[in-house]
Amino acid sequence: MPSLTELNLKCAHFGIVGASNLTWDDLSRLCPNLKDLNLFEPCKSLTLEKLRQITTQLPFLESILLPQEMLESDIEKQLGDELIIELEQRKFPIQL
């Protein structure tokens, strides 16, 4: 999958024991040229902190689409706002 540049996931099983042997940390190895990551349903194993870590491992990433349900609590909204600012200030900005 190294040539994959866009990944659309409706039901992501990364990091879910019993459903997959893969973790979110494997994404950069599987899709090193990923530009667009689109999640259409929340994934319990993907936190905003884990997302922040993943973005540092994907040098070509340009945009991330997350479901609204991942940003419902006040804490999640605050972390999301902080992550947006951080991603936009990078040498190669990432749109969240």
Is 35 domain-assigned?
A: yes
pLDDT digits (tens, 9 = 90+) for 65-75: 988 888 888 88
Strand partners, 36: 6, 63
37/75 Cα distance (integer angstroms): 23
What pLDDT is stored for residue 35 in this prediction?
95
The gap from C-alpha 83 to its chain's centroid, in whole angstroms, comes to 11
pLDDT digits (tens, 9 = 90+) for 20-46: 888 899 999 999 999 999 999 888 888
Is 96 domain-assigned?
A: no
Is 93 domain-assigned?
A: no
Is 13 domain-assigned?
A: yes
Percent of the chain exceeding pLDDT 70 equals 100
Average pLDDT rounded to a whole number, residues 1-29 = 87
What pLDDT is stored for residue 86 in this prediction?
87
Q: Which residues contact 24 (CB under 8 A, 6 or more apart)?
A: 14, 15, 45, 46, 50, 53, 54
Q: Whole domain around residue 43: which residue ranges? A: 6-88
Strand partners, 32: none
**How many domains does the chain fold into?**
1
